[in-house]
Every structure is written in C-alpha cells, then in structure tokens.
Chain A
Amino acid sequence: MTDDRLLRDDGDPLAQELLRAGAEERPSDEARARTLAALGITGVGAGAAAGAAGIAATPRGRAGLGRLVRWIGLAVTIAVAVGFGWRALRPDAPSVSVPSAESVATAPAATPADQAVVASPSVGETVALSVPVVAPASAPKRMPALSAAPAASQDTGLAAEVAALDRARGALASGDAPRALLALDDYKRSFPHGVLGQEAAVVRIEALVRSGNPSAARALADRFLAANPSSPHAPRVRHLVGEQDPP
C-alpha cells in the first residue's frame, strides 16, 4: 500500500466487501497438490507445501463474508422500506442497461444530430432493450440487493438519476422517441457527470434509430464504441446500428 488508506479498510462498504472477498479467496488444496505432482515434487517438501496450503486455506475470515451477507440483507431491507425500485416498477417497461460512457453521452458532437430528430419512430409498441446489465459472461445473475446503497444521501442522488433516465426509457418504450430524446436532454442537463452515462448513451442511440435518424445514431454509436470498446453494451450498440445480430 502506498500513502493512501486501503479501500478495503476505508472505502465504500460494498467496495470493501468486494475487495475483501477477493483477498480472502483461496485455491483448493487439490490444485496445489496437482501442481506439485506435475512438478515431480513429492515427499517432505511437497508435504510442507501442501501443509502450508492447508493452513493458508483455513484462516480466511468468514467475518468478511458474514458482513457481506448481512450488508446485502440490510440493503434489501432498506430497499423495501424506502420503496426503492419497487414502487416504480412498470410491467411494460423494458430492461435497458449499459455500462459507463458518459464521455460519449455528453460528447458535443451528438447534440446537433439529436436536436434534429423529429420524426416519430416507425417502429411500434415495445422497445426491447434487454441487455444483461452489469453482468459479463461470468456473472449472469441479477443483483437486486445492490439497488439500495448504504449511504442514504448518495442513494438519493442515484435514485433521482435513475428516475430521470427512466423517463427517457419509458418514453422510448411507449414508442415516443422524440420525447425520449427530450428526456435524455433533461437527464444530461441534470446529471452532466452522471454514473449512468453509458446507459443514457445507449438509450439515445436507440431513440435516434427509432426516430428515423440513423446517421446520428451511427455517429453516436461510433463514438461510444471508440470510447468503450470493451463495454458490455457494445454488442447491443452494434446491433442497434445494424452491425451485428442481437446480443
């Protein structure tokens, strides 16, 4: 560690728990034994190494995991109590998701094209924007417990940002792409450095496509992909501009 304090000791509670989980993870004794065998090491030395493995494998603090479980439980409780997320559930709302790319969402070049959009989408009713939000291939499960952050003030800001972007998505879901673009402009004004920048960018690309402005959608998509080539939303963006099949 350098000058600063470790995040896992002095950071966001969730960040702490994640980092501790990583620090506490251990390989199996069998994996170590197989390696020793592959190295042709047997006997006392191997026993000592395997013994060290056993010792190393045991002490891992369950306290950290217990804290995580308790934290998640608390998060769920808070979520229910505050009504976070649930109260605004809309059965018709599609699930959108994108990772971070506010640099794209806020890129000035997107503005003229966006403002030029007028036409209503030729597409109909439901806009299916279902992308596995945060999860990469190795993490397919949803994460409802994360909906409630431990810091109330931060949650308030995040909730407002989520609600703002949700208005855009709702307009898009109802087939009103121009209104979605206006809502996105509102979002951008209210949260110029919001944490949902990538999500906003993807919704905007979708809205541009739906409103009959494929060139603007393409330009924004190109910038998004250039800025976030490994984003989990990249496949979705490419699909929206016709570069690949649905992810």
Chain B
Amino acid sequence: MSLTEQREPPDDAGLPPDADIERDPRVKRTAAEEARITSMVSAHFDFVWRSLRRRGLPPHAADDAAQQVFLVASRRIADIRDGAERAFLFHTALRVGSEASRAFVHRREVLNDDGDFADVRDSAPSPEEQVGRTRALELLDTVLAELPEELRTVLVLSEIEGLEGKEIAEMLSIPTGTVASRLRRAREDFQSAVKRLRAREQFQERGR
C-alpha cells in the first residue's frame, strides 16, 4: 500500500481531515458530540500520541501533534462513523505527524536531545530506569527507521499497540492476508535491523 493510501481517511469518515479546519471546535457542538469527543480522548489519546512518537516526533512535539489530531477530530466529529474513531484518528495522526516531522527536522538543531525526552512522564521511574527507557526508545526508533513505511506501520500497530490482524486490516483498508504478509516481513526486517544495530556497534567499538 502506498503512503497516500495509508494517509487517506477511512472511506466512511467522510471528508479529508482538514476539510473544515477553520471551524472552531467548540462551536455548534452538541452535548452528545462533546461526550463522544471526551470519550475519544480518554480511549485513544495514548494510541495517537504513541503513533506520533513512532513517526519520530520527540515527546513535546507529539504532545502538540496529538492535540492537533483531536482538534481535527472534533471538527469532523459528525462525519466519523461510530466504531471508526480509532481509524480516523490514526489516519489523521499519520498526516499531522508527517507535517510535524518536517517542521521538527528544521528546528532540530536547536533542540536539546535530553530535553526532548525529559518530559516523558510516567510512574516516576528511577533514574536508572529512565536512562534505560530513553535509550530503548532511541534504539527502537533507530531500528524502525530502517523499515519501509508500510511494514513499519503494521509492525507498530501489532507489536506496540497490540492490534489484531483483522483490526489492522480494517484500519488500513487492506486484506488480512496482506496484513499477515507485511507483518511477517516486518518482523524479519525488524530482527535483521536489530542484528545490524549490534553488529554496527561492535564494528564501531573496534574502531575506537
């Protein structure tokens, strides 16, 4: 599947995510819509945020981009079919994430890398754990960056988000067989990339 295909909203979601971008999210919203949006935030904020992180955005940029995703969803709430919320959010996150990534690349040189990860707040991990976490996430993104996008997408949805093949197929509007074959290749590629990561480090160590 092409990137364009992935970034299209689900067929039943209606217009493109930014079709009515000017509308104030708080205008003309019914109580039911507000409750639905609140529910979407509650149920899917973590998923959206992680999806943005795995597209290479640092935490603070993922915060902003996630907010943008939900603002778009709020504007489009009437167009989003019941049950299609997560798919809509995911496709919107792909688009918003791509734009944010481009902006981030331009600003990256002035950012403090440690600061980028400083606001990954959780259940107050120990300093040792925080070092391990930050490093693991860096390595994860390094490895994921080696995978073609269509493989990276299914791998993240399966291995990180825990979605079933059928759910992934529905979200991406592709056959379950395609999901299975992509997952198989994605896992092979991921393992190979991890292997390369080690080998390069060994190579690097010997050169020091």
Contacts and interface: CB of A to CB of B under 8 A. Distances in A.
Sorting the interface of chain B by its residue count into under 10, 10 to 19, 20 to 34 or 35 or more gives 35 or more
A19 B208 contact: no
Interface string A155-167: 0001101110110
B206 A89 contact: yes
A136 B145 contact: yes
A35 B159 contact: no
A3 B146 CA distance: 24
Given A56-B46, A195-B192, A146 B66 contact: no
Interface string A116-149: 0000000000000000011111111111101101
Contacts of A58: 122-123
A40 B160 CA distance: 31
Contacts of A135: 138, 142
A227 interface: no
Interface string A27-65: 111111011101111000110110011001111101001
B197 A146 contact: yes
A21 interface: yes
A56 B121 CA distance: 12
B121 A57 contact: yes
Contact of B204 (A22, A24, A68, A133): A133
A68 B191 contact: no
B26 A27 contact: no
A93 to B, nearest CB: 5
B133 A65 contact: yes
A203 to B, nearest CB: 10
B96 to A, nearest CB: 13
Given A31-B49, A35-B45, A195 B160 contact: no
A216 interface: no
A19 B187 contact: no
Given A21-B136, A35-B70, A48-B38, A144 B46 contact: no
B81 interface: no
B199 A195 contact: yes
A192 interface: no
A187 B146 CA distance: 23
B38 A46 contact: yes
B5 interface: no
Given A28-B119, A40-B26, A147 B159 contact: no
20 contacts: A2-B164, A2-B179, A11-B187, A11-B191, A15-B143, A18-B136, A25-B133, A58-B123, A60-B122, A62-B125, A95-B208, A133-B200, A136-B142, A139-B139, A142-B204, A143-B135, A146-B202, A158-B202, A166-B206, A169-B207
Given A27-B66, A166-B203, 4 more contacts: A21-B137, A38-B70, A53-B42, A72-B132
